[in-house]
Amino acid sequence: MDSTCKTSGETAPIVASAAVLQRTRTHRRQAGGVCASLRREANLKTARLLGIFVLTSVCAASLQVSSPGPGSDSPEYATGDELVRPDGYREWIFLSSGVRMSNNESCGEGATFTNVFVTPSAYHHFLAAGSWPDKTVFVEEKRTSSSKGSLNKAAHFQTDLTGISVQVKDVARFAEKWAYFSFDSSAKTAKPNPKAMCWQCHHDHGAVESTFVQFYPTLKPVAQQFGTFHEAATGAESY
């Protein structure tokens, strides 16, 4: 009997130790399951955040492409075909100046200066192809003049701005591809001029695509090189 009791007493701690080990393993498995669940949840949250970031980036890029930004040189419209004044045009490419330019031999008194600018993207396209891309914008600035000022006593120099004329190529918006706008010195928007006012003259006498490249000495040889300069349309002898 003493022997039996002794055996049982020695076995009890072993059984207890095994139970403790089993509970420890169970707790570890449960803890491991919780950790795995937490990791899966964290991964899902990360994936959602990444998806939102990608979607936001795509939307922002889409808006940037579809709408001209502050640095864009594409034409901007208020509503429909009403053009917004391109106030940054003096940072564009300067093409040429003229004084008292008119298709009328009797152009009256006074000497009005005109300065012509074109969007940089259109200019670089023209240098590469001899033609004007869609969304090309020209600005012809009009200024009064004076012959008396500072040291000058005879020749004319430019003074106050009186207005600007804008020529836009927008194939999807205008049936005739090109449209013409007039702004006084303060107007913020303008509707297209009537077709008879500008379109016909540019169409008939523009050396390259309804534009007066014959008066832009740096671009005329480019158009001639590409074979896009139409001498017959200029209505005058070559210079």
In CATH, the number for domain 83-234 is: 3.50.70.20
Q: Rounded to whole angstroms, how far apart are CA atoms 202 and 147?
A: 31
Q: Which helix (H) or strand (E) holds 63?
A: helix 2-66
Written as six digits, the tokens of 188 are: 């913020």
Any bridge partners for residue 115, and if so which? Answer: 97, 141
Q: Which of 209, 220, 142, 141 is nearest to 178 (CA)?
A: 209
Kindly list the domain boundaries of the chain, sorted by start residue: 1-67, 83-234
Q: Rounded to whole angstroms, how far apart are CA atoms 216 and 237?
A: 15
For 40, 75, 88, 136, 191, the CA distances from 71, given in Å and listed in that order, are 44, 12, 9, 15, 23
CB 98 within 8 A of CB 114: yes
Q: What is the pLDDT of residue 184?
A: 92
Q: Which helix (H) or strand (E) holds 178?
A: strand 178-184
Q: What is the pLDDT of residue 24?
A: 57
pLDDT tens profile 38-80: 677 766 766 576 555 545 554 444 444 334 444 578 999 999 9
**Per-residue pLDDT of the chain in tens (239 residues, 90 and over written 9):** 444 444 445 555 555 555 655 665 655 665 556 556 667 776 676 657 655 554 555 444 444 433 444 457 899 999 999 999 998 999 999 999 987 666 554 444 457 889 999 999 999 999 999 999 999 999 999 998 887 778 877 778 888 999 999 999 999 999 999 999 999 988 999 999 998 888 888 888 899 999 999 999 999 999 999 999 998 877 755 54
Q: What is the pLDDT of residue 154?
A: 75
Q: What is the pLDDT of residue 200?
A: 86
Q: Rounded to whole angstroms, how far apart are CA atoms 95 and 141?
A: 12
Q: What is the pLDDT of residue 228?
A: 96
For 181, 187, 189, 232, the CA distances from 78, given in Å and listed in that order, are 14, 13, 7, 38
Q: What is the pLDDT of residue 146?
A: 82
